[in-house]
Structure 1
Amino acid sequence: MNTPMYRASATTAVPTLTVNRVLRNTYALLAMLFVFGGITAYAAQAAHIRLGFLPFIIGIFAFSFAIGATRNSAWGLVVAFGFAGFLGVFTGGNVDAILYQYRNGGELVAASFGLTAGIFLALSAYAMTTKRDFSGWFAFLGVGTLAILGAIILNFFLQIPALSLALSTMVILLACGWIIWQTQMIVRGGETNYILAATGLLADIFVLFNNLLALLGFGFGED
């Protein structure tokens, strides 16, 4: 789930050629960022690198600021790949923990990946084809993201398992909402910066995967 940094109108008049260019560039960059994030995730898992919660939170805010500041320059691409690598390292640590904790860890990782891919493709297709306007979701998603982030930080100190599961479920729902909103923003011309668009969708994909992995581990993990 990305820090809200998009314009909140999906009705901005933008030439069709511009929208098509942004859409094409967004998904081309998203594919490259995903591959790079996957490589760093594999490397982190193989090296048993696990990123702590507080460094992760600090990194998310730092990269959100840096992406926003460099989005209109070549440095934005450098920061975007750094962000993908950062998400990959964090994800690799979670995958390593699942593989270590559960006998069927490999199956859980594969199932989480399949579910993430299926959900992302389905939601993207829906956002691109529906006539419904989701621009009004921005405020709800933004407030919900901040509220859940605060609850996650609080639970880091409380360590309540039931709350962790509830938060993972809510994070998954929010990530789905962000995917729909961000995709429609691109398609309808509300977002014209492909670096912001690609990194936002990438964050949603990794958030979705990690939280699905946590839920699957709890529900179907074999000790």
Structure 2
Amino acid sequence: MTRPDGGVPLALAVDIGRTKIAAGLVAADGTLAEHRRTATPTGPEILGTVFELARPLMERAAVCGIGTASTVDPQGRIASATDLLTGWAGTDAKGAAERTLALPTVVLNDCHAAGAAGARAGAARDARTALVVAVGTGIGGAVCVEGRVRTGVSGTAGSIGHLPVLSRQRRRADRRRVRHCVVRRRRLAGPQHRRRLFDHRGPRRAEDRQGAA
């Protein structure tokens, strides 16, 4: 795809993190042409902040890619978000971006976007399979197979710090209903965290407890 003015095609890249939002113009070889950033506001104001950053760049872009610290469904909606992005869950990020920026838009989890970039132009470019692990405010990841990111049925494939788990209250009533276990960097280690994870699996059998001792 070429730019509207016939120039070198550029992509408008947006990174929505838990603490900052960045926007830039990226060439096909991964070169960053221009870069802007600001602090992340509360959920209802996130899209407005993204568009404010993007407007000075959009005229030179042919497409838009948005990576966000959330679970994203196949339609580009925010399926779930952490408590650090209050009010962000349920947002139709793809639809809003295409209407406002008038650019074809893809929305992915930020670590899935990093995995796609790594498979296309990074260290995983020549690898048949790759696992990307990202350590930031939270812990995330992506699984790449033959140059493509596999997001999985729930949209969390590879997201090692953000996985769907059955809640104890709903386990017997409906095994299809899940909630998410989010691992943040400061909670990654220690017995308290391990107990929290084991709690989602229910009481362990006696032989399991002996094996863990």
Task: Please state which band the TM-score falls in when normalised by the shorter chain.
Answer: under 0.3
Q: Which has the higher strand share?
A: 2
Q: Which has the higher helix share?
A: 1
Query: Could you tell me the TM-score, scaled by structure 2's length?
Result: 0.24
Query: Could you tell me the TM-score, scaled by structure 1's length?
Result: 0.23
Tell which has more relative contact order, 1 or 2 (C-alpha 8 A, sep 6+).
1
